[in-house]
């Protein structure tokens, strides 16, 4: 087989063309058809919903696995399923929010410059939108005040890093919009050189915006708390690293910090405030990444500061919506299942509304739902499974009502015959029960198998439609099985399970992966001579680490990997993560920083390795992939290093994703061919 991985230009390669064709079948560029909906919000009367729809003009921008190249606002008739496209870009319009009177929609748009979101308001009567007064930075979130007169804006200063799940790149003004000359240096060191996140209030009538955050306070997430205050997740320093020790504070609209409401033991997300402003809800969890929060609900009484910790059906909560002052709609991960529940905050009891196993609500990082109508138990959501495309449903009076199915006939026809999927369970050597997802091609095993390791480590893999991934379609069609384990440390099984990886990255979780492969080999599903491994971020670390610990792997493709915890600590934007999750100090020469670094075990590697990284990645900088590549190459192991200069944490944009898919697929075809 030709070595696809090391050829400079793959644009005419059959694998590149195949990835491009499969993506085009899903996204249908130029047709105006929506491939997927996200960020749903139902109108107050429950007749319509506004959403950010993935509508592809051309095979450029975000990849199909991230939804599509651009997003446009659409209005969905919840009775008929008919959709009207409200905005037409350029670039992406997102995060739509109905005004309280239902006459307009505020949303974010990066029409002027990629990633630099400004607020626009769409008038539903005139079907036109306008940009609002500018702020000093890019807007990450918005929320209307209850009277519709103001909009709360969460603003990141230019130079702020996106979260790892968004690419971990710094976002700044382009040369045309910046007052800085092109020779000006980039400064690090001291708060005055850092980009802060802040709260701004936009006055709708006056078309003016003002910053209300006091000096020395960095805002990670914020929500209205009554009419005169804002509840926020805050830190005293602005860098990404400080999110890990953020707390909840109450800020007066005048800009003064009133008091701290809650200082957690772990990390926080999903801040939501009851309609009256009397109760703040937040999710606390042990987290490896900002915005990937799955854990326990905390309820804070604003007046007294009293804290309660209600039970939520033994699920790790990943989304919150207040339905009234006493009831909180939540989405939770519960092992291989997804549940939607309703928490009575007065009685501190929860009841299950909906449960899915191989079918799960769609969502960017976690499953998502949107409240629907006046009944607290009604909601709107898309669901999908490995072989069923996203489908929009209303859940009303305990029953599902299908509204609209997405996907394309072309993709459905390709995906349907590819194979089957199921939950796969096994026991780790220490007796801990582990589960994962197994997708197998048709035909008798044993199959060549690719293990796909999720990032985090505190995250999880759940069923997502195969039609959204060109690589999955190509691998299954070629005869490979795909194994997606959720080892200790994964979300969905409570905080104690997540903490198993705390201080032990590359420890017992190593054997969760290996024992899963043992079980698949013993069951006759996996061919022991044709086992490959890949994954991104922590999955990239584990891809590197596993091939230093076990010789069974025929090929490895680590993406945005970690090779050396010592150098990572001093070059990434979240050294606190390294210190917390290794439970060690970087200066300890006999500690885990050294012992658990794959580069220090390079002499054990025999596996051909394709190292993939993004040149703009701030969380696992590209030097990590370079270190491992150089280390194993020097020892005679076949290795290639591929750096995408305009990508951050992972390869996310087209056409780079077609190139990456071709190289990854080619690597497995070369080193562990099917048939």
pLDDT tens profile 29-76: 999 999 999 999 999 999 999 999 999 999 987 765 555 568 999 999
For residue 669 the two structure tokens come to 């075809």
Q: What is the mean pLDDT of residues 394-403?
A: 97
Q: Residue 540: pLDDT above 50?
A: yes
Band the pLDDT of 177: cuts 50, 70, 90: low
For residue 355 the two structure tokens come to 């449960």
Band the pLDDT of 127: cuts 50, 70, 90: very high
Strand partners, 663: none
Band the pLDDT of 675: cuts 50, 70, 90: confident
67 in Cβ contact with 77 (< 8 Å) = no
Nearest alpha-carbon partner for 558 in 567, 572, 570, 548: 548
Nearest alpha-carbon partner for 263 in 224, 300, 216, 237: 300
Please list, in sequence order, all residues whose beta carbon lies within 8 angstroms of the beta carbon of residue 400, skipping any fewer than 6 positions away: 354, 393, 394
Other Cβ atoms within 10 Å of 125 Cβ, number: 7
Nearest alpha-carbon partner for 283 in 363, 366, 381, 169: 366
- Give per-residue burial for 184-210: e unless 16+ CB within 10 Å, then b: eeeeeeeeeebbbbbbbbbebeeeebe
pLDDT tens for 90-117 read 889 999 999 999 999 999 999 988 889 9
Nearest alpha-carbon partner for 559 in 450, 481, 478, 419: 450
Three-point CA angle 279, 285, 287, nearest 5°: 135
For residue 188 the two structure tokens come to 């690090």
Give the pTM.
0.95
- Euclidean distance between CA atoms 147 and 205, whole angstroms: 12
**Residue keyed to tokens 């105006």:** 32
Please list, in sequence order, all residues whose beta carbon lies within 8 angstroms of the beta carbon of residue 420, skipping any fewer than 6 positions away: 387, 439, 440, 442
Q: DSSP assignment, residue 244?
A: G
CA dihedral of 568, 570, 575, 579, whole degrees rounded to 10? 80
**Residue keyed to tokens 């997003």:** 71
Sheet bearing 229-235, strands edge to edge? 218-225, 229-235, 247-252, 257-262
Q: What is the 3-state secondary structure (H, E, C) of 421-464?
A: EEEEEEECCCCCEEEEEEEEECCCCCEEEEEEECCCCCCCCCCC
Band the pLDDT of 188: cuts 50, 70, 90: confident
Per the prediction, the chain carries an average pLDDT of: 94
Q: Residue 470: pLDDT above 50?
A: yes
Q: Residue 1: pLDDT above 50?
A: no
Our measurement of the distance from residue 434's CA atom to the centroid of its chain's CA atoms, rounded to an integer in Å, reads: 23
- Euclidean distance between CA atoms 448 and 554, whole angstroms: 10
Mutual orientation of helices 14-27 and 656-671 as an angle, nearest 10°?
130
Q: What is the mean pLDDT of residues 483-510?
A: 97
pLDDT tens for 411-423 read 999 999 999 999 9
What's the pLDDT at 642?
97
Q: Residue 477: pLDDT above 60?
A: yes
Going 662 to 665 to 670 to 671, the CA torsion angle's sign is positive
**Residue keyed to tokens 């917390």:** 580
- Euclidean distance between CA atoms 563 and 509, whole angstroms: 17
What's the pLDDT at 193?
61
Strand partners, 610: 640
Region of 46 please: left (phi>0), alpha (psi -120 to 50) or beta.
left
């Amino acid at each position: 087989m030709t070595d696809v991985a090391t050829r400079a230009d793959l644009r005419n390669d059959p694998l590149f063309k195949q990835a491009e064709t499969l993506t085009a079948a899903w996204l249908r560029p130029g047709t105006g058809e929506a491939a997927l909906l996200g960020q749903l919000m139902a109108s107050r009367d429950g007749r319509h919903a506004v959403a950010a729809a993935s509508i592809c003009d051309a095979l450029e921008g975000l990849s199909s696995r991230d939804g599509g190249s651009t997003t446009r606002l659409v209005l969905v008739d919840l009775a008929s399923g008919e959709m009207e496209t409200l905005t037409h870009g350029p670039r992406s319009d997102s995060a739509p929010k109905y005004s309280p009177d239902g006459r307009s929609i505020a949303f974010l748009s990066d029409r002027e410059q990629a990633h630099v979101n400004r607020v626009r308001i769409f008038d539903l009567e005139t079907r036109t939108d306008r940009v609002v007064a500018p702020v000093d930075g890019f807007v990450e979130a918005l929320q209307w005040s209850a009277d519709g007169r103001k909009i709360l804006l969460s603003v990141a200063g230019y130079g702020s890093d996106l979260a790892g799940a968004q690419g971990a790149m710094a976002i700044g003004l382009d040369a045309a919009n910046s007052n800085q000359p092109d020779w000006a240096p980039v400064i690090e060191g001291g708060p005055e050189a850092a980009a802060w996140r802040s709260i701004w209030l936009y006055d709708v009538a006056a078309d003016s915006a003002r910053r209300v955050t006091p000096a020395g306070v960095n805002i990670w997430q914020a929500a209205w708390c009554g009419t005169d205050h804002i509840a926020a997740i805050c830190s005293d320093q602005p860098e990404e690293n400080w999110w890990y020790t953020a707390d909840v504070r109450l800020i007066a609209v005048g800009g003064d910090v009133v008091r701290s409401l809650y200082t957690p033991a772990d990390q926080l997300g999903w801040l939501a405030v009851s309609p009256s402003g009397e109760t703040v809800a937040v999710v606390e969890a042990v987290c490896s990444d900002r915005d990937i929060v799955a854990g326990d609900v905390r309820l804070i009484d604003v007046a007294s500061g009293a804290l309660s910790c209600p039970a939520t059906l033994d699920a790790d909560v990943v989304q919150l919506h207040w339905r009234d002052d006493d009831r909180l709609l939540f989405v939770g991960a519960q092992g291989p299942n997804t549940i939607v529940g309703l928490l009575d905050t007065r009685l501190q009891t929860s009841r299950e509304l909906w449960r899915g196993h191989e079918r799960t609500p769609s969502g960017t990082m976690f499953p998502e739902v949107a409240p629907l109508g006046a009944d607290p138990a009604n909601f709107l959501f898309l669901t999908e499974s490995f072989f069923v495309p996203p489908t929009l449903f209303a859940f009303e009076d305990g029953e599902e009502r299908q509204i609209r199915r997405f996907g394309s006939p072309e993709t459905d026809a390709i995906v349907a015959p590819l194979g089957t999927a199921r939950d796969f369970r096994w026991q780790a050597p220490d007796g801990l029960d582990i589960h994962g997802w197994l997708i197998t091609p048709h035909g008798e095993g044993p199959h060549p198998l690719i293990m796909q390791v999720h990032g985090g480590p505190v995250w999880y893999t759940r069923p997502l439609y195969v039609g959204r991934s060109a690589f999955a379609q190509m691998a299954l069609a070629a005869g490979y099985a795909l194994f997606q384990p959720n080892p200790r440390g994964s979300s969905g099984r409570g905080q104690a399970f997540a903490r198993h990886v705390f201080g032990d990255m590359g420890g017992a979780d190593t054997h969760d992966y290996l024992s899963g492969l043992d079980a698949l080999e013993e069951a006759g599903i996996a061919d022991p001579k044709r086992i490959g491994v890949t994954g991104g971020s922590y999955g990239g670390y584990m891809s590197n680490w596993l091939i230093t610990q076990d010789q069974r792997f025929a090929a490895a493709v680590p993406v945005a990997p970690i090779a050396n915890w010592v150098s990572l600590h001093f070059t990434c934007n979240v050294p606190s993560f390294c210190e917390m999750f290794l439970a060690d100090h970087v200066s300890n020469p006999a500690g885990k920083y050294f012992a658990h670094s794959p580069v220090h075990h390079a002499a054990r590697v025999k596996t051909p390795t394709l190292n993939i990284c993004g040149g703009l990645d701030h969380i696992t900088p590209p030097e990590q992939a370079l270190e491992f590549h150089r280390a194993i190459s020097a020892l005679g192991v076949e290795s290639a290093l591929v750096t995408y200069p305009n990508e951050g944490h992972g390869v996310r944009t087209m056409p780079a994703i077609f190139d990456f898919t071709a190289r990854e697929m080619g690597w497995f075809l070369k080193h562990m061919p099917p048939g």
